Amino acid sequence: MKKFAHTLAAATLTLILIAPAAYAQGDAVHGEIKKIDEAAGKITLKHGPIKNLGMDQGMTMVFRVNDPAMLKQVKVGDKVEFEAEDGASGYMVTKMQKSK
């Protein structure tokens, strides 16, 4: 019984430590920048599935960005993690950061 209690406590602690990291990623998608159009506020990304947009397969597509300053932080060829949503004017990248 004592061993079970220790195992349960260890499992609970592990979940407590891992859960915030999983939550922080949200709907993050891995992608690679193929083209940047600063004037139009658009970025072309080759990406994996985007579940929150109902995309079960990866593809290459153009997104608008909600903050044009994001485009100054990256360059063509960079690997990124991003989040996107379906906005009034099409698919929009709402968060983006370089991948390690």
Q: Where are the domains of the chain?
A: 29-98
Q: What is the mean pLDDT of each run of 10 residues along the chain (100 residues)?
A: 53 44 63 97 97 94 96 97 93 93
Please state the CATH superfamily assignment of the domain spanning residues 29-98 in this structure.
Answer: Copper binding periplasmic protein CusF (2.40.50.320)
Tokens 């004037």 belong to 39
C-alpha separations of 78 from 30, 32, 33, 56 in Å = 11, 6, 6, 23
E strand segments, 1-100: 29-37, 42-47, 59-65, 79-87, 90-98
pLDDT of the residue at 89? 87
Residue 15, pLDDT score:
43
Q: What pLDDT shows up at residue 19?
A: 41
- Give the model's pLDDT for residue 3: 62
Tokens 């985007």, located at residue? 50
Whole-number Å distance between alpha carbons of 35 and 79? 12
